[in-house]
Amino acid sequence: MEKAKIDRAAGYRVLGELAGDATVEGTLAPLDALAPGFPDWIVTAVFGGTYQREGLAPRDRQIATLAALTAFGGVEPQLEDHIRNSLRIGMESAEIVEVMVHLAPYVGVPKALAGLRVVAGVLRDNEAAGTAPPHGPEVPAEDGAGA
């Protein structure tokens, strides 16, 4: 049995690649002020451990993460971050939408719809910031109607 790899430096490098260095500092510093050491544990264990394992490409890990966060529900800030990370590593917005649609029969329509709302919000934010991909799906207006 191969021993688990835990690499703090690699964890911060992976998180920087996924989330961007500004996001890392902006998210981790306030959390560290509230719960000293906890952000370092998260980065080291998750991005320096789980993400260091062989067998899944970063894109596949992001799809699994999107599915898990959507299925879990109630973790919209983390889902939003991972949607941004997925776009940053090259996933198309249409693929992320399709992940949410695909989840509906497995996690339930309400959770899939909640995931789609988070996707729509991220895409709207990117569009407003001028960082939207040129051929993404049309983003519906947030009107609160329907689901």
Q: Would you tell me how many other CB atoms lie within 10 Å of the CB of residue 72?
A: 12
Pick the CATH number of 58-147 from 3.20.20.10, 2.40.100.20, 3.20.20.70, 1.20.1290.10: 1.20.1290.10
Rounded Cα–Cα distance for residues 35 and 33 (Å): 6
Residue-wise pLDDT tens digits, 79-125: 999 999 999 999 999 999 999 999 999 999 999 999 999 999 999 99
Q: Where in the chain is the domain with CATH 1.20.1290.10?
A: 58-147
Residues 6+ apart with CB under 8 A from 127: 139
Residue-wise pLDDT tens digits, 14-71: 999 988 877 777 889 899 999 999 999 999 999 999 999 999 999 999 999 999 999 9
Residues 6+ apart with CB under 8 A from 61: 51
